[in-house]
Amino acid sequence: MTSAARNAVARRAENVGQAAQNDEQPKPTMAQQIERMKPQIARALPKHMDADRIARIALTLIRKNPDLANCSTESFLGALMTCSQLGFEPGSPTQEAFIVPYNGEASFQLGYQGMVTLFYQHPMASSVKVETVRENDFFEHEEGLEEQLIHRPFAGGPRGKAVAYYSVARLINGGRTFKVMYPAEIEERRQKMRSKNSPAWRDSYDEMAKKTVLRNHFKALPKSAELARALAHDGTVRTDWQPDAIDVPPEYLEHVQRPELETGA
């Protein structure tokens, strides 16, 4: 065997030994992966947000929720990257976005306030609000060529149970549009959702109903690219946490467990 051949065999043996050693190394923890991911988070974040803060928030989430800590690292990092690219702090008091565990996977969940925040990013947006109509309120709703929406909340005592939900949006060019949905329509849509029996629907029905109305209303409103992405990723699992993966169609989970929302959020 020539000297060159002996050297090649030696190098190959060294490489095999190094690969075996790498295989024996423990898999990085979620915390270590989050730390390694900070440069990508920093590039994805809006200028007013800080990657170190997002990393601390992520670590706090997995400490507080053992189910998140047990989720696949790829899905958690993917949800975290989606939040970062949209400019949201997951699980913050603003309730704009959440990272929710289900069957070992972490999904991105868009909150009602997050939808409103992203709507205002469109240059045509002027205002948007969503309200609940109760049985003791004065309410008139008319569709057609002479559209009309009048709502006067009852101020003389309890307003009663919800009888309708609506959203109203104004554009800077003076345009106005509204969407009204009644409990039967909300319930029909809920029954078709993967999350129809989630704690959010059980404990904060009105807030989830308002989110349903707003999402339906957005079909007829101008949407920023960020809002379109957020709506596409709502309730999905993203396993590729590279920044450009936000434009790839995500996976939907079956029976996603949505976060509980505080009443009046």
* Judgement on whether residues 183 and 140 belong to the same structural domain of the protein: yes
pLDDT of residue 140: 96
pLDDT of residue 39: 86
Query: Residues near 238 by Cβ (< 8 Å), separated by ≥ 6?
Result: 75, 78, 79, 81, 82, 108, 245, 246, 250, 251
pLDDT of residue 244: 63
pLDDT of residue 159: 96
* Judgement on whether residues 47 and 111 belong to the same structural domain of the protein: yes
* Judgement on whether residues 211 and 228 belong to the same structural domain of the protein: no
Domain range enclosing 174 = 123-195+202-222
pLDDT of residue 261: 39
Q: 22 in a domain, yes or no? A: no
Quote the pTM value. 0.71
The 10s digit of each residue's pLDDT in 221-244 is 888 888 888 888 888 888 876 666
pLDDT of residue 165: 97
pLDDT of residue 5: 46
Low-confidence ranges of the chain (pLDDT < 50): 4-5, 8-9, 11-12, 16, 19, 253-265
DSSP assignment letter at 28: P
Place of tokens 């309410």: 139
* Judgement on whether residues 115 and 231 belong to the same structural domain of the protein: yes
Query: Residues near 223 by Cβ (< 8 Å), separated by ≥ 6?
Result: 119, 122, 231
Q: 12 in a domain, yes or no? A: no
Q: 10 in a domain, yes or no? A: no
Q: What's the token pair of residue 200?
A: 């959010």
* Structural domains in the chain (count): 2
C-alpha–C-alpha distance, residues 150 and 163, integer Å: 14
